[in-house]
Amino acid sequence: MNTFNNLVLSRLSNVIAKYSDSNCFCIDERFYTYHEFASIIARIREALTILEKDDLPIGLVNNNDIYTYASIFALWYEGLAYVPLHPMQPKARCMDIIEQVGISLVIDSSQDSRYDKESMVLKPDKLCKDVDFDPLPKDISDEKLTYILFTSGSTGKPKGVQLSRKNIAAFVSAFEKSGIQLIAKDRCLQCFDLTFDVSVQSYLMPLLNGACVYTLPLDCMKYAFAADLIERYELTFAAMAPSMVRFLRPYFLELNMDSLKYCILTAEASNFTLVKDWGQCAKNAQLYDFYGPTEATIYCTYYKLPKDISKTKNRNDILFIGKPMDGIKAIIVNAQEEILTHEIGELCVAGDQLTAGYWKMPEKNEEVFFEKEVEGKSYRFYKTGDLCRFDEDGDIEYIGRIDFQAKVQGYRVELGEIECRIREVVGKDIVALAIKDDGKDDIIVAFVESDSIDFSKVQRHLRENLPSYMIPRKIITLTQFPLNNNGKIDRKQLTAMYNSN
């Protein structure tokens, strides 16, 4: 049976028994074996059984250490869920999350916990008693939660996405049918904050196959540290945001990425020109473009790039996101929720990976989830907020976020087309934004990641190829684009930079 206990916990127990002396983590240059990892899990499990606690999720401060990762699995073995709390995010935001969920226990390996006064704190790094590892997980329903991830909300209040044991089991089953086959000899990069769901794939899938996970410090220059890990330890698998790869671009000719067997690009739209160059750098890697909202458990579609990268499907230089993963139903609908065949509309997804909804937000759930019959079967769909289109082969073209679409002088404007046209001239990375001018009409502002460009040449090219209403009001150059905690280009910060000037 494809239960969470079978696909995840019992499987990990088998890996621990089989690869006891093999390395499972490399954290801050220190290696930990599966035996050491299991011993820490056992100590935390025992502490959890002793503590008086309710059935609510437990707060977990996401330090980059073995105790944090062991805590995740200790909680899962005990049938409990966690809520990640970022140690470098403002305490007020974390307290908002704690209050929303009603968290009374926080697991925190920090030297000094900032939650001592508000919650009971368990220090996993202070547990010294030797405890035998129990390979048997608690017999818990797969409807129970594994974690709640809080994402930014349009109201300013973070919203909690609940992911169940069933959701994770469905993801593990589907991911392993994508063509990525990890083995015990693999060395895998984990470069995402634990508050971001791609991190779950980055550590879980390697561990379930007896591989070793290499992590990044919280406060490092991620792209440089990741490249160093890949080269020095000859890593074989990496999932990375395109923004991280983009920062490496000036060094592609110097980097040795030959050890990579698989490389996933994820978390944001991937530019074909960037991926084409990256493919020359990581020339032995099978490249994938994986897509998925947190609400559909990490990934729900994927595109396996052809060996001849020039044949990669892209539109306006943006890679396709491919076909639905196993068990995912994907449709594209118009504003009336009518299914579209080959026209552009909103991508909606259904399946066992789909969250039960947001934590205590019934109005939001009503807004983004809906029931619809497709081919005689009823499904519960989630509206992703992404504009897409099915091509003739059933692959999904990614157009862009609905939020990022602009309306200028009554015309609907696709920002990706503007970015593509500017890129044709400057060969650099571009972000075009629709920004409210004095709070009224949308204006187009383009940001170019470059020290300097030939503005007159760009304007001339745009006038020759775009209607006047699509030409940006202003083009701004930046040495580097700002990134958010998840490694994505921070569009809010770009908007704020424009407004402040």
More confident site: 466 or 260: 260
Q: Residue 123 pLDDT more than 70?
A: yes
Which residue ranges make up each domain of the chain? 328-400, 405-500
Task: Compute the distance between CA of residue 285 and CA of residue 235 in angstroms, rounded to an integer.
Answer: 11
Residue 385 identity (one-letter amino acid): G
pLDDT tier for residue 52 given thresholds of 50, 70 and 90: low
Q: What is the pLDDT of residue 349?
A: 98
Task: Compute the distance between CA of residue 36 and CA of residue 45 in angstroms, rounded to an integer.
Answer: 14
Q: What is the pLDDT of residue 463?
A: 87
Residue 490 identity (one-letter amino acid): D
Tokens of 275: 């991926």
pLDDT tier for residue 64 given thresholds of 50, 70 and 90: very high
Tokens of 39: 């011993």
Q: Exposure string (b/e) for 429-462, b if CB count within 10 Å is 16 or more?
A: bbbbbbbeeeeeebbbbbbbbeeebeeeebeebb
Residue 450 near residue 459, CB atoms below 8 Å: no
Give the residue-averaged pLDDT of 179-206: 96
- Please give the helix or strand (H or E) that residue 82 lies within, else none: strand 82-85
In 184-250, alpha helices (H) = 198-207, 222-233, 242-248
Rg of the chain over all Cα atoms, to the nearest angstrom: 23
Query: Measured at the alpha carbon of residue 386, what is the angle toward residues 327 and 364, in degrees to the nearest 5?
Result: 85
Tokens of 61: 């401060």
Residue 432 near residue 419, CB atoms below 8 Å: yes
Q: What is the pLDDT of residue 263?
A: 98
pLDDT tier for residue 89 given thresholds of 50, 70 and 90: confident
Express each pLDDT in 388-433 by its tens digit.
999 999 999 999 888 776 767 666 677 888 888 898 888 888 898 8
Give the rounded percent of residues in the chain with a pLDDT score beyond 70. 96
pTM for the predicted model, two decimal places: 0.86
Task: Compute the distance between CA of residue 469 and CA of residue 462 in angstroms, rounded to an integer.
Answer: 11
Tokens of 330: 């994907």
Task: Compute the distance between CA of residue 107 and CA of residue 147 in angstroms, rounded to an integer.
Answer: 14
Express each pLDDT in 254-268 by its tens digit.
999 999 999 999 988
| CATH fourth-level superfamily of 328-400 | Luciferase; Domain 3 (2.30.38.10)
Query: Measured at the alpha carbon of residue 289, what is the angle toward residues 284 and 295, in degrees to the nearest 5?
Result: 140
Task: Compute the distance between CA of residue 427 and CA of residue 250 in angstroms, rounded to an integer.
Answer: 12
Give the residue-averaged pLDDT of 70-94: 93
Domain 405-500, second-level architecture: 2-Layer Sandwich (3.30)
